[in-house]
Structure 1
């Protein structure tokens, strides 16, 4: 347990360093699925090993050992985890659970509010055009979800750009991109080392929608121009932008990291992305190693508790 229990705590740092290259070099849909799954696996594994460390320290408390029938002599002799490591694991576990619970509550509230707002929009058409002179376009999750476009955004785009905008937003809506973003944020809340991975997922869903629009129109350069024109129009719009927290849009989510739009435009001006097999294999190997280490640590602790209970 001594070695295996610590590796899942280190792997998220390696994943954080590789998240950006993976999001840029893999096909966007594959990158989104892989990064989201990686975040969940890494967050779950690191949280699990924190729980194992906390449990290893807990059984050394005489009262707990007596209640469970564990031998203090066996526990002291085999020492599954040092006291500092067990204490740190317990504290970090509590912080991780609290942060994940708070984020889950906030995100659920945002999704629920967006769904209610989408249901209250006029008409039954999935696309809703508002009278707002500011340039806005975004997708709101719900049953059904809605695509909201302002007159200011329509005025900023030509007919071809409007078709690209709708294709982009429909990709967000039909592929439920908000789910990927929410899960990546939840993983990052449980393990702050995974925040770059959550940022990479927010980028990859936009790239996924960009590539969908490029396939729909057959003109990558036109999509790049539409993305750039929409971003400039939104930046020039006066007044505060009222975009729901759960919304996704053509020029990215609010408070998105700087430089995302230029990177998306550059990617659209380049050939369609391919997925290098070696890079994909390395990412899968990292996830497999994380799961195996967590399982090995749990197995070692189980064997130790069985030994302590039988003596």
Structure 2
């Protein structure tokens, strides 16, 4: 079953096509978990697959095989990857590891800096108001975190909308949304094909916080209004009437919001009935992730069998292999 080593690579091409439908049709909290798991598992699995293909190419090189006391001839016979494929896999693996390491370092520094900034902002209720005319609001992770709001943003919103804004930002802190964004970004850094998952997670964590604010205040329409006003004020644009935003694009149907940005889609979602968990989408996503993990484990096990075969061949020669064992391992990665 030589397809095992290639299956995660194939799924990383197909699976991202479902990232946006999942983010728009499934309840935001569940969607965030599924999208983050998809990005991380597929990112790790494709990296392992590239590593396995690169290793099988290396042990087919006589000099390198000699260093490991393997039979290069046997490795070439049983190798599931042609030399050009193994070389390409090695180059892609190097790029994936370098990109992921850089992203992980930058993200770790960013989170550490945010935590330090939060610790330097003493406040009894976790709210920090800064004197700034530019409308802005954000959450700083920490122990505990801080909600930072500019005076410009406070002037943009009315009193009831201040409560909505605080509920939204505190939802980010309570659910540790920055970790979901970081993990999805790490998977996308390892495999750029997975970027739709990372993009979708940045949207679903906002939707998750929107829904938390709606539950806290009990008024979805007012939350939608606050989200639209805050976003449009930050961009210096006049606020449109809610009736012009449309309601159906967020449900995945072709409509006015099919190509819209995240803020109009968030507003439309708040003006529509709350989304459900969609067990069908959950089952399909879980099945794809399970298939990815099973194929990765199978391919890794087959590499172990291949190394045993080429090691035996090196010590005893190919004519002294156990016929039964040879039959079971003649097709590595499957």
TM-score exceeds 0.5: yes
Q: In the alignment, what sits opposite 1:303?
A: 305
CA displacement at 1:67 relative to structure 2 = 2.2
Whole-Å separation in 2 of the counterparts to 1:115 and 1:299: 42
Deviations 1:82-115 (A, max 9, x none): 1011101100000000000000111111111112
What are the residue-to-residue correspondences of 1:107-126 with 2, within 5 Å? 107-126=107-126
Alpha-carbon RMSD: 1.5
Match of 1:249 in 2: none
Identify the residue that residue 152 of structure 1 maps to in structure 2. Answer: 152
Look up the match of 1:268. 270
CA shift, 1:129, in A, is 0.8
**What secondary structure, in the 3-state scheme, does the structure 2 residue paired with 1:3 have?**
helix
What are the equivalent positions in structure 2 for 1:152-171 lying under 5 Å apart? 152-171=152-171
Deviation at 1:133, TM superposition (A): 1.4
1:184-203 correspondence runs (5 A): 184-203=184-203
| Aligned-pair CA distance for 1:182 | 0.6
Shift of 1:258: 6.7
What's 1:242 paired with? none
Residue 288 of structure 2 corresponds to: 286
5 Å matches for 1:212-291?
212-236=212-236, 259-291=261-293
Give the match's secondary structure for 1:4.
helix
The C-alpha deviation readout for 1:45-68, integer Å capped at 9, x for no partner, is 000000000100111121221222
Cα distance in structure 1, aligned partners of 2:263 and 2:306: 53
CA apart distance, 1:186 = 0.8
Instruction: Tell me what 1:18 maps to.
Output: 18
Whether the 8 Å CA contact 1:2–1:81 is kept in 2: the answer is no
User: Equivalent residue for 1:31?
Assistant: 31
- Aligned residue in 2 for 1:65: 65
CA distance in 1, matches of 2:229, 2:174: 24
Measured in 2, the distance between the counterparts of 1:46 and 1:199 equals: 19
In the alignment, is the contact (CA less than 8 A) between 2:135 and 2:234 conserved in 1? yes
Match of 2:179 in 1: 179
Cα pair 2:184 2:198 within 8 Å, conserved: yes
Residue equivalent to 1:99: 99
Q: Residues of 1 paired with 2:134 and 2:177: CA distance?
A: 24
Match of 2:253 in 1: none
Seen in structure 2, the aligned counterparts of structure 1 residues 258 and 96 have a Cα distance that, compared at 3 Å, is farther
- Given that 1:221 and 1:269 are in contact with CA atoms closer than 8 Å, whether structure 2 keeps it comes out as yes
Length, aligned pairs only: 292
Q: Secondary structure at the match of 2:70?
A: coil
SS at 1:292 equivalent: helix
Distance 1:172 1:78 in 2: 51
Give the whole-Å Cα distance in 2 for the aligned partners of 1:78 and 1:12: 26
User: CA shift at 1:34, angstroms?
Assistant: 1.0
**Is the 1:80–1:304 Cα contact (8 Å) retained in structure 2?**
no
Q: Deviations over 1:216-252 (max 9, x none)?
A: 1111111000000111111129xxxxxxxxxxxxxxx
Q: Distance in 1 between matches of 2:126 and 2:213?
A: 18
Structure of greater Rg: 2
Separation of aligned partners in 2, 1:122 and 1:287: 43
Comparing 220-229 and 119-128, the one that deviates more: 119-128
SS in 1 for 2:139: strand
Structure 1 length normalisation: TM-score?
Answer: 0.91
Of the structure 1 ranges 120-129 and 4-13, higher mean CA displacement relative to structure 2 is found in 120-129
